[in-house]
Structures are given as structure tokens and as C-alpha cells.
Amino acid sequence: MLMKAMTRRQWIESIGAAGLALGCGANALAAPAIIRKPIPSSGEDIPTIGIGSWQSFDVPASNVAGRSNCTDVLRKFFELGGGMVDSSPMYGNAQAAIGQALADIGDTPTLFSATKVWTSGRQAGIQQMEEAERLWGVSSFDLLQVHNLVDWSTHLQWLTRWKEEGRLRYTGITTSHGSRHQEFAELVRHQPFDFVQFTYSLGNRGAEASLLPLAQEHGKAVIINRAFQGGSLFSRVRGKPLPGFVADFGCQSWAQFFLKWVTSHPAVTCVIPATSKLHHLEDNMGAMQGRLPTADERQEMERYFDSLG
């Protein structure tokens, strides 16, 4: 576990050194810088665009072409600077598909592995996460989250112990679709999770009322799920042009519009759009290029999106 963390840190440092060296004069050989944000509890910064795996990676081993596609998508994700891969035992074959892809790709130094415990009871939770380690082919996870608050007080105890023992780097908890926000807010206020994950998108801004400011106030890293509302946001903008001003911060598509809007909220650490398509992945990863919109630009994006009806 420690070995893995050190390797990643060393790799990031070496990339930083290389970037600095190239910045000092040589040709533009360095990859374009990507937008990163810090995890409040540690200061470690991570790429703002991760990847989800619900449905998109639920591919059985018998679907050889589908598994190969998962590998291609994840390989490109890492090539473009991706970090967080999010999964759960709830997502059918997704963890096995991720594990196969990671083995096929081989070296994945930027991987930030994140899965979830989704069962009741201490022993069942521990067994589920040991099985997840086996499926992913990792010796430990960067982040283990309690999925949808299921038996969270039981799991928080052993997850905290694992973290103290160095078997886990970060703890977290998730919800989605705006559900149970009041109860979730209490956990943000009073429980020592490093990460909180919930839904936020231009089509669902409910988290602005309490979860986002609370997470910021209490030093939680925030992962946003369903930034495309499961893909339905694209139907709302089909055939509509992007407003001209978004080119100022390097936004070239509607996917990047949706993702840059989410990641530019000051409380948000990263977003985990899901895709099964290579060209969509490349599009989404473009939201880590350029800069993030300012507060005024965010408001202008909201006004423009809302005007589309």
C-alpha cells in the first residue's frame, strides 16, 4: 500500500520536475497541464476529471469486445491524465471489468482507486472490500466510500481503523439524485469522512443549498456524480450552439460546458462522468484543459443554459 502511494508520489514529482525543466526553455514536449484540485484533509491534489463505471463498465467476461473496449477507454483515460476511477459492488461486472483493464494496461501510476461498500454488517463489509481488492487486482484502495449511507456507522468504524493501519488512504460516503440530503448534511457536519459524493449538475442544482457550502466549511473533498444527469442533459442542448464566451476558458463542447461548470464550483474537488465511448472520453477529458470559468462566467453559463428551455 505504502509502496503504491510512494510510487505515485514519486511519479508526480518526476512529472513536475520534467514540466519545470521543459518550461525552462526546451521545446514544447510536455503534455498540456491539466486542472487539479486539492483534497482538503491531506493537501494532495487530484485531476478534476475522473471516471464513473455504473452501466458503462458493467460488461461480462463473455463479452470479449466489450471488455476490450473498457480497456481502451481506461487506457486513454490514463493517457490523458485521468486519476479517479469510481466503482461499486452494486455495478454488476464493473469491478471485474476495471480489474481486467488495469491488468491489460499494466502501469497505471496515476490511478486513484475508489470503490464502495454496499452491504450491512462489519464482516460482510470487510469481505466485500477484500473481494473488491481481488477484482481490481490492487493490494489496497485509495478511497473506500459507504454507498448510499448503507449501515454507515458500522462501516465507518472499520474503515477508520483500516486508514489508521495504512490499509486505506481515504474514507468517504455517497448519495445521489438529491436523495436524503438532510441526513447526509448531518454526516458532513459531524463525521470524519475525507470525501463526500453526491449529485450536482446544471439540471440538478439542489446541492448548492446546503451540501456544497457545508462540505467546504467542514473540509471535505467533494466528488460529483451524474454531472450529465445520466446523459439527459445532452438532449436539452441538441442542435443548440455553445455561447461564444466559453471559448475564453477553453470549452469546446457541451460535455466540457457541463463538466467545467461543475468543477468550477469552489467546493467541488472532482467529477466522475461515465462513458463507454472512446470519443466521449476524449471529449470529457478536455474539460481539464484551459482554465475553469470564473464566478461571473459560471452565472453566465447558467443563464445561457436556462434560456434554452
Return residues touching ligand NAP (CB under 6 A).
52-54, 56, 86, 147-148, 174-176, 197, 225-231, 234, 255, 272-277, 280, 283-284
Least Cβ distance, residue 225 to ligand NAP (angstroms): 3
Least Cβ distance, residue 39 to ligand NAP (angstroms): 18
Please state, in angstroms and rounded to a whole number, the distance separating the CA atoms of residues 79 and 228.
23
The grid cell for 278 is: 472512446
Least Cβ distance, residue 226 to ligand NAP (angstroms): 4
Helix (H, G, I), strand (E, B) or coil at 276: coil
The grid cell for 229 is: 444527469
Angle at which helices 94-105 and 122-136 pack, to 10 degrees? 40
Please state, in angstroms and rounded to a whole number, the distance separating the CA atoms of residues 85 and 141.
11
C-beta closer to ligand NAP: residue 142 or 283 = 283
C-beta closer to ligand NAP: residue 35 or 274 = 274
Least Cβ distance, residue 49 to ligand NAP (angstroms): 11
C-beta closer to ligand NAP: residue 44 or 283 = 283
C-beta closer to ligand NAP: residue 29 or 206 = 206
Least Cβ distance, residue 282 to ligand NAP (angstroms): 8
The CA dihedral of 257, 253, 248, 216, to the nearest 10 degrees, is 20
C-beta closer to ligand NAP: residue 140 or 256 = 256
C-beta closer to ligand NAP: residue 50 or 293 = 50
Q: Where are the beta strands (DSSP E) in the chain?
A: 36-38, 45-47, 84-86, 112-117, 141-146, 168-174, 195-199, 221-225, 270-271
- Report the helix count and the strand count for the chain, using DSSP H and E: 11, 9
For 166-185, give the DSSP string: TSEEEEEEE--TTTTHHHHH
Least Cβ distance, residue 184 to ligand NAP (angstroms): 11
